[in-house]
Structure formats: structure tokens, C-alpha cells
Amino acid sequence: LEACGELMRVKEFVDPNLEMTEIVDRFSKNAGPAILFENTGTSFPLLINAFGSRRRICLALGVKDLDDIALEIELLFKTLMKPKDNILEKLRLLPKLSQLASWMPKVRKGRGECQEVVMQHPDITKLPVMTCWPEDGGPFLTLPVINTKDPITGIRNVGMYRMQVFGPVLTGMHWHKHKVSAKHFNEYKKLNKRMPVSVALGGDPVYTYAATAPLPDNVDEYMLAGFLRKKRVELVKCLTNELEVPADADFIIEGYVDPWEDYLLEGPFGDHTGYYSLADYYPKFHITCITHKKEAIYPSTIVGIPPQEDAWLGKATERIFLAPIKMTLVPEIVDMELPIEGVFHNLTIVKIKKEYPGQAQKVTNAMWGAGQMMFNKILVVVDEVVNIQDYQDVARALSTNVDPQQDIFFAQGPMDVLDHSCSKLAFGGKMCIDATRKLEEESRFSLEKVDDGTLRIGIISGSKEEVKQWGDSLKQLISISYPEIVDLNTTWVELGISVVFISVKKNRRNHIRELNDKLFLTTTLNEVKFIIYVEHSVDANDTADVIWRWSNNLDPRRDSYVVAAPDNENISHIGFDGTRKTKEYDDFDREWPNIICMNEATIKTIDEKWSSLNLGPFLPSPSLKHRNQLYKGGAVAID
């Protein structure tokens, strides 16, 4: 990183308790470098934001471009799957099979660099473990590469789950019910045995990525690491359990989880959704040994309101796993995109080569049944002509091709445990938006097609100035007739895109549903297809914030309100309720989390320290933008 001009060294003391987060948040939201905090108040420096740009994630994985990996996987699949007609063709395959074998992990004898130093008395508090956000339950390891094995098959799993520190030899183990390590845990419980767990920190950055990758069950993540690095991962046996860990890791934390022991209350934690994940009960991890390199560097990351470093780990997964999805699951997929504002699982855009009616629904069913894509909440399907990296182009496809009453499909299924909008934990609504051009069998319209073959309906007609006047008169009407509407953004309509953003202060039960009907049926919004509603504290003119809050707060099946067309010559409409849900107004029984912001005291401290830390040109705190959106209370909203 330093050789490539991608590293900043901070030599003065910075407190791992909140201060590091405040500095890193300013840099991560301004395309800043990786940071090495050299004075952490412990014996170890701390590296953070190491993956936090397209260039750095490529450096970490050893490629010039992330798409290079997908192309290589595609070539490998084609080579292995191609029919072999004779013995010569089969013999030509041997070098490729030999190369694959050379990437398999190997256990070597003796100790590794990760075991150069053995703590005489293991104490995880001697590491610079960060407390990231003001309402966090304590300090958390945020980049632990967690190694477990299935007690029946012996097959290894490598995952990444946060670990809250409760004492020198005790942490939580935050694995969700859907994760492979949790399945291993259940198997140990059936056998009435302690579960050995070993945690690697640092080492080759490819280990960190591999631990986050959505591999199928029973596929060794170190095999993926070997493929990416083009050399096998060397493993060594742990000192106090039988697991194997990367020989070149910076730290190894060995221990066990007792399946019959009472769980502990872990959290809250400022999570990648931009909201706190709330306190819940998880297993205890008991530390039996800590080893490290002589010159060990502690790796860390922060997550929170996007964009953060984790967005680039997600971007790597998006590009790397595109080829396997195309080759084995959905061959009509051309490309896919996970917008940063959709925080991975909330929003996915898929580009397909469409050839027959209903193909978007076929793709959706396949995607929702594929591994971690089962957690996807909103799937948008577009044609191959759409530039899915250009969100205006995507929005224009939605505006042009979607008939809300007919082209939006709802389902229910498993959701990410971190999704706070579901009425029931980890189970909620999903939505497919078919934004492909409609074939005759798929359309209810009897309108003439325009020259490009699309049904351009739901677009305000007139010149740009006339459309702007329409928006101004609408805002004037709204301000008089609907005082609960704080802000209305018609900018996208002026661009020829049939969507309006509205900030609204709810004050009664069924407020958004009733408001939606009135706006579509009694105002000039009857010329628009889509309204996205967000809370009154959200700036309706900040598109990124609107999409982030909407995709987090929406249960699509519960919170989408279709207004059907009166006949087959007119458009239909839909409103999406992206506001907070409460018991009083929405019969919502779960606790609602707060958004993540730094406290004023820490912001002030870093403002005052900035020049003395030699951090370069001053960057204001990103939390200043969102502090007015905070709810009363702490991690749990109470107002």
C-alpha cells in the first residue's frame, strides 16, 4: 500500500475508542487512503481502510481489474465443462487439473510466523480493539477470519462474524442462524462436545476477502484464496486445539465455544446497514491462546452509513461471482450491480438478455434461491441495453417499462437478520421489479409504440421549462393542502423519469396509504408512476440518502401501495413507504434501531486534533449531515 501511495501513517496517539472511527469515517467518505495508526496505546499498530477503494481491493486480490477474476473463472468453467471427444483432449486437461491441485491449502509441519510470539497469559485487551460508534456495546473485532470444522465431515469453514470483547479471555461469537459456522455449532451441540474455534487476524489480505465470500456450503474458502493468489495457502496446527490456520497471519486467537453454556447479551453494534444492530444473545467464545508475529499489525474496519470500506469487499463479490452465476444458474444474465446505498442485500440490479415472456420472473426465482441471494429484498431486472452502473439509466428503464400494477411482483422469504424492517425477525417481503421491455403477452396496454419500441407512459409531457412549472405548481398545491409533507422532489421528473421523492411527517394510522391514494387520484401526480416516501427529517433532494433510508425501512410486500389504473389506456401507480414503522401508527411490534452517527464530543475532539495529527486538508465530520435525523434514545429509537 505504501509503495503504491495508498497509505497514510499517523504517528501521534489516537484512541481506538471512537476517535479512530471519526477519522476513518471522514476519509472513507472522501476516497481517502488506508491508514496505519502507529500509536494505539498498545504494543501493536492498527491498519484500517486497507480495502477502501477500487484500486486497493484490486491490489489486495492481485489483479488489475476485478472483472479479470470473473473472466478467468468463466474460462476455467468452459475448459472443465467442455466435452472431451478423445484421449488427446482429455490429456490436454491434465495440466489444468494439476494447476487446480496446486491451489489447494496445505498443512505444513512446525510453527508458522503467526506463532513467533506466544502470549504467556492470553489477553485480548492488549490488542487495539476498537469501539467504533457511541452506542456500541463495547469494543469489537471487525475483521476476524473465523475457522471452524464440521465435526462429522471434517470440512472446514472460514467466515467473518464480529466479536465483542467482554474480558481478557472472553468474547461473543456473532454468527447468524443462516451461517455455516452456526450449523457446525448445532452439530457439536448434538454431539455434546465443545466446539473448537480459531480466529486469524491479518496476514495475506486475500484471507479477509475469502472469509466474506458467499461460497456454497462445504467449499473451502482457503481454496478460493489459493485460486485468487495462484498459490496454495499454507496452514499450521494451532497450539491448543486441532484446527489449522494460515501460517502468515498476524494474530491467531484460539479457543472454544461450549454449546451448552448460557449465551451472553451481545451488542448493540453500528452495522453496515447504517443502523445499529440491536443487542441479542449469542454464544460465548473462550480464549485459550493468543499468538502473533514479532512485528504484528492489527487489522480493523468500521461499518456504518455508506459508503464505507466494506462496500469494496462487496464490489469484489459482485464481480467475482458474476461468472459462476451466469455459467451454472442463470445463463441469460449479462451483468449485475449492487448499489452501495442498498447495503448489499437490500437492492440488486440485474441485466439480462431477454428472449421470452416472463423471463424476468424466471431470473428472479433462480436468484432468490441461490445462496446468500436469498436475503435480497429488491431485485430490479433490466434489458441488456441498459447501463446498470448509471443509475439514471436504470431509473429511466423503470419509468419507461414498468406498469406498477402488473410488472412488480411480491413474495416472502428469509431475510438478513440485520433487516430491521421485517415484522418478524429474518422473515419478510421481497420485490421483483420487471423493468424489461414488455412483449405482447406481458402488456395490458393498447397504446401505440414510439419509434424505439417502448411504451413511454407516465412521463410528464412538455418542454423542460413546462415540466419544471408543473413541479412548482404541484409543490405550491401540496404546501397548502398537505401540511404533513415537508419536502417534495420532482427533479427526476424533469429528467423524464417518472418518480417523485416525498418527505412526510406521519401523524396517524395508515397515513402513508391514505396519502398515497389522495395524491395519485386527486392531484397532477396522477401523471407519475412512482412515489417514494421517507421521513420528514430526510432531505428529499438527497437521492443517495433517500435510496439508503427507503431500501432499509421498506418491507416491500407490506409497505407498497398500488393504485390500479381505471382502464387499459391509463397508467397505474405505486407508492413505497420508506418511513420508520411504529406500534402506534403501523402495528409494528419490533424495536426500531437508530441510525449511526458520531457524538458531538468526539467530533469536536478530532476537529481540534486534526492539524496536530498531520492528516492533511481538513475534512468535516460526515455525521454532521445526519445528526438531525437521529431519533431520541440510544441504539433503540424511543420517539
Cis preceding-peptide flag for 307 (omega within 30 of 0): yes
Residues 6 or more apart in contact with residue 463 via CB below 8 angstroms: none
Q: Which of 298, 289, 244, 288 is nearest to 118 (CA)?
A: 289
CB neighbour class for 539 (10 Å; exposed up to 12, middle 13-18, buried from 19): middle
Q: How many helices (H) and strands (E) does the chain have?
A: 21, 30
Report d(CA 401, CA 396) in Å as an integer.
8
Cα atoms found within 13 Å of the Cα of residue 442, Cβ hemisphere only: 22
Choose, from 136, 271, 403, 407, the residue flagged as catalytic.
Answer: 271
Report d(CA 516, CA 46) in Å as an integer.
50
Q: What is the DSSP letter of 421?
A: T
Report d(CA 254, CA 240) in Å as an integer.
7
Report d(CA 523, CA 502) in Å as an integer.
14
Q: Identify residue 475 by its one-letter amino acid code.
A: K
Q: What is the DSSP letter of 463?
A: -
Can you name the residues that pair with 300 across neighbouring β-strands?
48
The sign one gets for the Cα dihedral 264, 141, 311, 600 is positive
Q: Is 144 helix (H, G, I), strand (E, B) or coil?
A: coil
The string of DSSP letters for 504-544 reads E---STTHHHHHHHHHHHHSGGGG-SEEEEEETTS-TT-HH
Residues 6 or more apart in contact with residue 89 via CB below 8 angstroms: none
Is 271 assigned a catalytic role? Answer: yes
Roughly what angle, to the nearest 10 degrees, separates helices 54-61 and 66-81?
40
Report d(CA 339, CA 394) in Å as an integer.
11
Report d(CA 496, CA 291) in Å as an integer.
60
CB neighbour class for 542 (10 Å; exposed up to 12, middle 13-18, buried from 19): middle
Report d(CA 210, CA 225) in Å as an integer.
6
Q: What is the separation of C-alpha 514 from the centre of its chain, rounded to a whole number of angstroms?
A: 33
Is residue 155 within 8 A of residue 220, CB to CB? The reply is: yes
Report d(CA 299, CA 140) in Å as an integer.
12
Residues 6 or more apart in contact with residue 338 via CB below 8 angstroms: 314, 315, 318, 344, 347, 348, 349
E strands, 367-472, in order: 378-383, 408-414, 427-434
Report d(CA 445, CA 263) in Å as an integer.
58
Q: Is 90 helix (H, G, I), strand (E, B) or coil?
A: helix
Q: Is 118 helix (H, G, I), strand (E, B) or coil?
A: strand
- For the annotated catalytic residues, the residue numbers are 271
